[in-house]
Amino acid sequence: TAWAAAVAAVRDLPAAARVLLVCHVNPDGDALGSMLGFGLGLRRLGVRDLQATFPGPPEVPEPFRWMPGVDLLVPQDDAYPVPDLVICFDAASESRLGDLADRLDTAGTSLVLDHHASNSGFGRISLVDPHAAATSVVALELLDRLGVTLDAEMATGLYVALATDTGSFRFEATTPAVHETAARLVATGIRPGDISRRVFDTRPFGAVRLFGEVLGRATLEPAAAAGHGLVWTYATRDDLVRHDQPAYVLEALIDSVRCTAEADVSCVVKQAGEAEWAVSLRSKGAVDVSRVAVALGGGGHRFAAGFTGRGSLDEVVGWIRAELAAGAVTPVA
Ligand code: 5GP
Ligand code: MN
Ligand code: MN
């Protein structure tokens, strides 16, 4: 099975093996948390030549910079020798790895840990569990199978990942098993209150003002999405410059927008380049937004998905409206 192959791929590594961990671009709590938590487990197993990286700008978003294991992170560097093993976290496809996809292809072997239903099946060994609430659930299972004893440092990243992807244990994916996993992680001595405050409830004053401005121009379209309603807003690079904020602060915006009672579908369009927009989509359950995202070149889960659109803001929002109107979206029973 894939599990047996994954265990063997790690356990049979030679002592001098070079291991590289990678995760998706614009890494979130699951990408970084599962990667660093698992990385600390590998270190515990005696893997010495171990590095972790992600595509794009090397800055770790401030909310995650304190996590144990950040010392494993290195800037993406093409001069780094070809790894014996690449392990990839939380990426549904190679396109989410940017330039790092190449590292995966040239490595001795590759292992993919993920939980996206839309996962393309890339990587030599693929551990994809679409029922897992976070990639860290898959990572923890592999650590268990490798016989690694969980400690608080590993548990921190794995917990950040689980808390992030379940919306702090609020989303539908929050099963009894998720709470049992969380209980195991918390039992190592980590402090959930402290972790939640750092990850979810801390942002610079400039970001608070920026949110005010961006939320102030949110638009409600009650007739969109087959009458289920769409609420959307956008943020430009100029907004970030004026409030002197890094791009990652915008990741939390969707959580304010999606509160809108009158809309099932919520959307934040974030300028990523001159005519390039990173789009976050959320649904409260009436509409499958992963279909919108996939139709527009992205992916994700039924109720949380995204894509990158090239064009003007009006064009990108127009495409979303069209997908929501054209029946690309199947109302969920
Ligand atoms: P977020 O809105 O938080 O950036 O992403 C929500 C979900 O959509 C994530 O689980 C992620 O997998 C997926 N997603 C977001 N942006 C993209 C994208 O550009 N391409 C793909 N394939 N998936 C995306
Ligand atoms: Mn992710
Ligand atoms: Mn995830």
pLDDT tens digits in sequence order for the chain, 333 residues long: 999 999 999 999 998 999 999 999 999 999 999 999 999 999 999 999 999 999 999 999 999 999 999 999 999 877 778 999 999 999 999 999 999 999 999 999 999 999 999 899 999 999 999 999 999 999 999 999 999 999 999 999 999 999 999 999 998 899 999 999 999 999 999 999 999 999 999 999 999 999 999 999 999 999 999 999 999 999 999 999 999 999 999 999 999 999 999 999 999 999 999 999 999 999 999 999 999 999 999 999 999 999 999 999 999 999 999 999 986 455 565
Tell me the sheet residues that pair with 305.
Answer: 281, 300
Q: Domain for residue 276, yes or no?
A: yes
Give the span between the Cα atoms of 314 and 247, in whole angstroms.
Answer: 21
CA-based nearest residue to 200, from 252, 276, 250: 252
Nearest CA to ligand 1 atom 15: 306
Q: Output the pLDDT for position 77.
A: 79
* CB of 301 closer than 6 angstroms to any ligand 1 atom: yes
Which of 23, 88, 96, 164 has the most ligand 1 atoms within 8 A of CB, as the residue to mutate? 96
Residues of the chain with pLDDT > 70: what percent? 98
Q: Output the pLDDT for position 329.
A: 56
Question: Which residue reads 């440092």 in tokens?
Answer: 153
Question: Which residue reads 């689980």 in tokens?
Answer: 162
Q: Output the pLDDT for position 326.
A: 81
Q: Output the pLDDT for position 26.
A: 93
Q: Which two structure tokens, joined as six digits, stand for 58? A: 């090397």
Q: Are 228 and 199 in contact (CB under 8 A)?
A: no
Of 200, 222, 250, which one is at a domain's C-terminal end?
Answer: 200
Q: Domain for residue 263, yes or no?
A: yes
* CB of 249 closer than 6 angstroms to any ligand 1 atom: no
Q: Is 22 exposed, middle or buried (0-12, 13-18, 19+ CB in 10 A)?
A: buried
Distances (CA, A) of 288 to 23, 167, 236, 295, 309: 25, 18, 27, 12, 19
Q: Output the pLDDT for position 162.
A: 98
Q: Are 32 and 159 in contact (CB under 8 A)?
A: no
* 106 and 222 housed in the same domain: no
- The closest-lying atom of ligand 1 relative to the alpha carbon of residue 90 is 12
Q: Which two structure tokens, joined as six digits, stand for 171? A: 């989303």
Of 147, 165, 200, which one is at a domain's C-terminal end?
Answer: 200
pLDDT in tens, 157-175: 999 999 999 999 998 899 9
Of 185, 200, 215, which one is at a domain's C-terminal end?
Answer: 200
CATH assignment at residue 267 = 3.10.310.30
Count of domains forming the chain = 2
Could you list the residue range(s) of the whole structural domain that residue 153 is in? 2-200
* 194 and 216 housed in the same domain: no
Nearest CA to ligand 1 atom 6: 305
Q: List Cβ<8 Å contacts ≥24 apart for 181-185.
A: 181/137, 181/140, 184/140, 184/150, 184/155, 185/140, 185/150, 185/155, 185/158, 185/159
